[in-house]
Structure formats: structure tokens, C-alpha cells
A and B are shown apart, each in its own frame.
Chain A
Amino acid sequence: MVPNLWLAGSPLASIFLSVSFVTSRQLLYSAAFSPHLRGERAATKLAFASLVTDETFGVNLGQYAAGAWDARRAILVNIFCALSWSAANALGAALGAVIDLPIDVMSFGMTAIFICLLAGQRWDRTNTLVAAVTAAVLVVGKLLGLGGMAIFASAVVGVATGVAFDGGDGAEK
């Protein structure tokens, strides 16, 4: 993102704010993992949290929800993801001109994983409302040009709606 904005001639402050807004969704990811890493050492939490991505958030949270998952394996998932991302970047730089991979098709693999993780949630009325409100707010946010910030903002609105709906005690009103 930084190189793209830089090449587009964006000022330094604009680059900083844009990347910071996109990063804001990590606040939610980090909070979502807090119940699962309760009791772990601070160093373990730092090692885990510093490498979370959209992809490893989905995979690790899915594994924690399914049970039989721990911080060591979650950190390994993060590290392997970072290594494969780095290797893929290097390969892409070396072979990108030779191999024509359809980027949109490859990207859809991750969308499919997110769809699977969303489908695997418990679908009571509160969760359905949260998902619907989040998606609707995200669409509005994108139409308003919020970009990466729309993910964070829509999720916050969705969560707040869910808490207001069931009173914060998980019992739907």
C-alpha cells in the first residue's frame, strides 16, 4: 500500500493516515483473540499479535472455536503465513513476467475461506443482525469512499448493534 500511494504522489501525512486507517481493524482482531490467549505470557501474546493478518485471523479464530488449538500453533500459523507471503513476493518478482497467474481468481480463494468462516458462525438472530448491519454499513462506507477504514467502522457498528439488540447478555430481546 505504501509504495502504491507513494508512486501516486500522495503526501507523507496522507500515506500515514491511509495505512493507519486500514490497520485499525487489527484492534478488533486483537480484542477477539483476548479470551483465547488468557493466561498466556505477555511475550507470547506479543509474538502472536504482531503477525496477525486477515487470513491468519480467520484461520486461527476458526481453529480456536473448533477447540484443540493453542498459542504455539497459532503463532506457527502466523509465521508460516508470513514466510509464504515473503516467498510468494520473491517468486512473483522473479517470475511475474514469465507466468501469467489470474490474480482475481487466486484472490477469490481467500474470499472463499472468509465465506466458509462466516458460514460456520452460530446463526441466531443477533449474529444474523450483526452480519447484515455490518455488510450494509460497509457498502455505504465504500460508496462514501472510506476505503480500508470501512471494514473497521462497519464491524464496530455491527457489534454495537448486536449488543444493543440483545442487551449485552446474549439473551435476545
Chain B
Amino acid sequence: MDTRQILMLWAALLVVMLACRCLPLLLLGERRLPQRVERAIGLIPVAAFSALVANDLVRPDSFASDPRGTLALLASSAVVLAVAHKTGSLVWCAVVGMGVYATLGVLAG
């Protein structure tokens, strides 16, 4: 890839990224939306967080190639879920989660 191609790619991706990031916020913000659209927007957080969690936890190949590592990941997630219910603290969830995952990773070898 030469400099011209890099610049073309950078410019094209900049347009896409800014459009995806800014247009919904600019277009949806100030107008009264149909009830179904408002409802859909209200459901985005639970869907987005569910997708992000599942994306991090589900690794199709790893069940076969690294079952103990996968179990460590899922067990750590269960512990984080318990901490989340108990404390509701992002910091505690991150700290405890990393600690448990590191410990289980060592135990899993």
C-alpha cells in the first residue's frame, strides 16, 4: 500500500466513522419520534451490552482447543455477575474479575 492508497483509505474510513457516530445523534435528537422508534432506542443499551458480553465470551474455536481456558473465562464471568449484583460497582467488577480470571488461568495451566 503506497502513501496515496493509505490516504484514500484513511479519508474513506473517516467519512464512514463520522457518519456512523454522528448522524443518528444529530438526526434523532431534537425531533419527536414515533413511539416504536423511542421504544427501540430504549432497548439499545440492553441489546448492545448483551452483544458486547457475548462477543467477548463466545469463542467458537476455543471450546475444542482450550476447554479449561474457556471454563475459566465462564467461571470468572459468573463471579463478576455475582459481584455486579452485590455491589453494582464497575471498578469492583473489573478488579475482582481480572483477579479471578488470572488465578483460574494459572490453575487451569
Contact = CB atoms under 8 A, between A and B. Distances in A.
Tell me the interface secondary structure of chain B in the complex. Answer: helix
A121 B52 CA distance: 14
Given A27-B20, A27-B24, A102-B102, A121 B39 contact: no
Given A108-B101, A116-B88, A116-B90, A131 B13 contact: no
Interface in B45-103: 45-58, 60, 73, 76-77, 80-81, 83-85, 88-90, 93-98, 101-102
Given A46-B22, A50-B22, A105-B102, A114 B97 contact: no
B18 interface: yes
A163 interface: yes
Interface string A122-152: 0000110011101100110011000000110
Interface string B1-33: 100010011001100111011111110111000
A28 interface: yes
Given A16-B12, A28-B48, A116 B89 contact: yes
A20 B17 CA distance: 7
A31 B21 contact: no
Interface size class of A (residues with CB under 8 A): 35 or more
A132 B73 CA distance: 19
Interface of A: 2, 6, 12, 15-16, 19-20, 23-35, 37-40, 42, 45-46, 48-50, 52, 54, 57-59, 61-62, 65, 102, 104-121, 126-127, 130-132, 134-135, 138-139, 142-143, 150-151, 154-156, 158-160, 162-163, 166, 168-170
30 contacts: A27-B23, A28-B48, A30-B20, A32-B45, A37-B29, A42-B26, A45-B22, A50-B22, A54-B52, A58-B52, A104-B101, A105-B101, A109-B94, A109-B95, A114-B53, A114-B56, A115-B80, A118-B49, A118-B53, A119-B85, A121-B45, A127-B43, A131-B46, A138-B55, A138-B58, A155-B47, A158-B50, A168-B35, A168-B39, A168-B40
